[in-house]
Structure 1
């Protein structure tokens, strides 16, 4: 199969298109023929060696954890799916090796869900990691009807989905973003506030009694979180382990087909959409990574296979 791979840690220069063996399908795995796979910052951070002390790496590595495609083969213990079904997954395994920027990828059946009818292939590929990160953060914090939620970096990839999910859960949402993203956040149902000096005061003007939930999707904002959190409030961060010392949760997203199916339900009910900023063919993965590394893209970057 065609695959983008790297055989050492480094920058985008270590990526190349190669031929790799088609993955073997374990008893509890599904082989997916990849239609689209989306880029997340963790992909190029892993490639640079950012998780080498946390996750075992087997070279050559096919990067990528997000996928949308068609079931090509089922394992002997996977009655949930059939050949030909359209699916999506956060396909992270317990070690770094066989990812989604290839023609085929194996996915543990527990991570797989059916593709929502309302999402294109590109949108479906952009949903899993970012959507699950937002959904699991908000639900673990008990977000629900009547909650007031502050989302840091609400205009980012995870934050944009987080706003929609929190609104669907019945929460009032305050979202931090640059002024250029405020109209978009209003359309999604959030009350936007600008970054920078005085942020805590601006949030307090909107929520004088404090907020019930803070979801930090950027890092470096713990002081603001502490100053606006209600006395019995809950908070979590995906980017700042110091949150643990402040009574919060440090989130690491978990592959979950059931959670992904719930996000698909929200999409099909018109409550969740996935913005796509750009698409690239498989052989231009290095260009897609470079676009992601610029850090100013509003929407998912998707690779088509």
Structure 2
């Protein structure tokens, strides 16, 4: 069985208008994969950076060759390879697919290795795709703080995709969480019922606490002086990771970065706590696949909160 798939990505790096649609035929399915019809994906900052030609994924792009984008997938299985025994046609699944060297979830169809997928309820809404990369990033970053769980943890960019999930996951894991934000009265933070501290108050004193930095850059550097020595700092943005960690070490902190991994058991755990009502995915806005440039523009305006969802 063959399908005509529409996939969005870049041939030349650039702004959001550089996003290009390519139609391609998916023919013979690999016996070890399943074919899913995408219901939704979501936009992540790594998609923006890659489209711009920044970061480690962009470095792998061949010149003048099409690179598809997108890592989050929610869809329904339409075909199962002959060697796949644990998934069946008609099941709904989510996954962080192709990370990091094979993005391609801005698409209508996708061939996927079963180990990247978790079966979910057919009644899930398109917002569930936003749980994958952002949720895995938040969970795996927070695990680096296990030895420091007795101390408060500041989480920056708490209304963003990773941030709003990190707040909820941290609470579920038993952390004393503080949202560190320029928007202390934001309705999303009120809904999440977390402690909140504005930056002006944060800079007034030092804090014996951990720091999960989701912003990076010079801004991330500016936070380090306010954390007392021998505390744990974890930074997520890869472009400034080395700079942040080097400065944190100089100040006497324990520091590290995190690059997300598609660990199936982690995604199963995330879905289990999602189903239990302990975390939820806040959908800011939804765009259809043909409007993916508008979705990128919307993220780059920096006024969004939670997740930006793409419906196929």
Which band: TM-score by shorter chain?
A: 0.7 to 0.9
- Which of residues 99, 108, 111 in structure 2 aligns to 1:106? 111
Q: Distance between the aligned counterparts of 2:105 and 2:206, measured in 1?
A: 40
1:74 matched residue in structure 2: 80
Is 2:211 the partner of 1:175?
Answer: no
Cα distance in 2, alignment partners of residues 11 and 23 from structure 1: 32
Cα shift at 1:236: 0.5
Match of 1:252 among 253, 256, 259: 259
Corresponding position of 2:92: 86
- Judge which range, 147-156 or 218-227, deviates more: 218-227
Quick one: distance in 2 between partners of 1:25 and 1:148? 49
Query: Among 41, 46, 68, which residue is 1:42 paired with?
Result: 46
Is the CA contact 2:206–2:226 (under 8 Å) kept in the aligned structure 1?
no
Cα RMSD of the aligned pairs, angstroms, is 2.5
CA distance in 2, matches of 1:31, 1:275: 28
After superposition, the Cα gap between the structure-2 partners of 1:11 and 1:179, relative to the gap in structure 1 and judged at 3 Å, is: closer
Q: How far has the Cα of 1:244 moved from its partner?
A: 3.0
Instruction: Tell me what 2:234 maps to.
Output: 236
Q: Distance in 2 between matches of 1:143 and 1:13?
A: 45
TM normalised by structure 2 equals 0.85
Corresponding residue number in structure 1 for 2:211: 214
**What is residue 138 of structure 2 aligned with on the other side?**
134
Contact persistence 2:205–2:226 (CA under 8 A): no
Q: Is the 8 A contact 1:146 1:170 kept in 2?
A: no
Alpha-carbon distance in 1 for matches of 2:213, 2:309: 24
- Kept in 1, the 8 Å contact 2:184–2:196? The answer is no
1:106-159 per-residue CA deviation (whole Å, 9 max, x = no partner) reads 233222112257x83322111111111111100132178645221122222211
Residue of 32, 54, 66 corresponding to 1:60: 66
Cα 1:135–1:271 change in 2 (3 A) is same
Q: Which residue of 2 aligns with 1:227?
A: 226
Unaligned runs of 5+ in 2: none
Match of 2:226, SS? Answer: helix
1:113–1:299 CA distance, 2 compared to 1 (3 A): same
Three-state SS of the structure 2 residue aligned to 1:142 is: helix
User: After alignment, is 274-283 or 26-35 more displaced?
Assistant: 26-35
**1:292 aligned partner:** 299
User: 8 Å contact 1:116–1:267 — kept in the other structure?
Assistant: no
Preserved CA contact (<8 Å) 2:33 2:111: yes
Task: Return the offset for 1:285.
Answer: 0.8
Find the residue that maps to 1:89 and give its secondary structure: strand
Structure 2: distance between partners of 1:67 and 1:122 = 10
